[in-house]
Amino acid sequence: MVLICLVAVAVFIILSIAPSISQSPSEDDIDGPTDDQPTTGNITLVLLRHGESEWNKLNLFTGWTDVDLSDTGRSQAEAAGKLLKEEGFDFDICYTSYLKRAIHTLDIVLDQMELEWLPVTKSWKLNERHYGALQGLNKSETAEKYGDEQVKVWRRSYDVPPPALDPDDERNPANQEQYRGIPAKDLPLTESLKDTVARVIPYFEEVIKPKMLAGDKIIIVAHGNSLRALVKYLENVSDEDIVGVEIPNGVPLVYEFDSDFKVISKRFLTDQNDAS
């Protein structure tokens, strides 16, 4: 009889606590986003042109030439990182090019923000526009040799590239170590801005944009023309107008988008008003 009573009591206890066990929240019941539930709200993207390079300082055509930052460029990168930290920015993934002036700018920014551990993806598709046979030449001397109008066409037209490199030229990226494994046919010998757009935008659409739509906070540290290509795409700027767009060295450009990836606002971080 005692045994029967003990069994009955045990059954009663189990039945009494079973509802509370069954009511424990499942993964689907927990508030907040999961890996399969992108965050909602506005999307933010930060674009940053590298700090001044040694060849910027010397007024040389740089393109894919892998020159480093000047002292001024390092100071610009430090200032950008401090400002981003002060403004409360945070990132999940960073993107940059294969060129050290952009890579080192990003390194300095992350150091200032105490975010050195963030993942960084480097892609040659974010490189500067390739200036072909003009790379390494002084801009003023080139204008004296070919005429101001011709150099202006090479620099500022949308679809006219400078003279191409010879394939055997040591400046051909196919002959350089950092581009090993990339088919030579994919690497440029010269580029117009139109060519740069055709290189940058598919990479952005296929790699970066899906991360943004999934909720990742992104910074892209790149170059004047590769960022100009992104500005053209993001704002639907015409071919004629994009050639006049200037992106200063070392000044963060902040975009905010709605859930349909339409631009709500943009501003340079040194100015709290919307950038024109």
pLDDT in tens, 95-151: 999 999 999 999 999 999 999 999 999 999 999 999 999 999 999 999 998 999 999
Q: Three-state SS for 155? A: helix
Instruction: Give me the amino acid identity at 87.
Output: E
Give the span between the Cα atoms of 5 and 205, in whole angstroms. Answer: 70
Q: Which pLDDT does position 34 carry in this prediction?
A: 35
Element containing residue 86 per DSSP (H, E): helix 71-86
Q: Which pLDDT does position 200 carry in this prediction?
A: 99
50 as an active site residue: the answer is yes
Q: Is the pTM of this model over 0.75?
A: yes
pLDDT at 93 over 70: yes
Catalytic residue among 50, 104, 130, 223: 50
The terminus-to-terminus CA distance of the chain in angstroms comes to 89
Q: Which pLDDT does position 145 carry in this prediction?
A: 87
pLDDT confidence of 31, banded at 50, 70, 90?
very low
Give the span between the Cα atoms of 239 and 194, in whole angstroms. Answer: 8
Contacts (Cβ under 8 Å, ≥6 apart) of 151 = 139, 142, 143
Catalytic residue among 54, 78, 104, 128: 128
Domains defined along the chain, listed by start:
47-268 (3.40.50.1240)
pLDDT confidence of 23, banded at 50, 70, 90?
very low
Q: Which pLDDT does position 32 carry in this prediction?
A: 35
In the DSSP assignment, the letter for residue 106 is: H
Q: Mean pLDDT across the chain, nearest whole number?
A: 87
Q: Which pLDDT does position 18 carry in this prediction?
A: 43
Beta carbons within 10 angstroms of residue 36's beta carbon: 8
Q: Which pLDDT does position 10 carry in this prediction?
A: 44
Give the span between the Cα atoms of 24 and 227, in whole angstroms. Answer: 49
pLDDT at 28 over 60: no
223 as an active site residue: the answer is no
Instruction: Give me the amino acid identity at 58.
Output: L
Q: Which pLDDT does position 270 carry in this prediction?
A: 85
Q: Which pLDDT does position 1 carry in this prediction?
A: 45
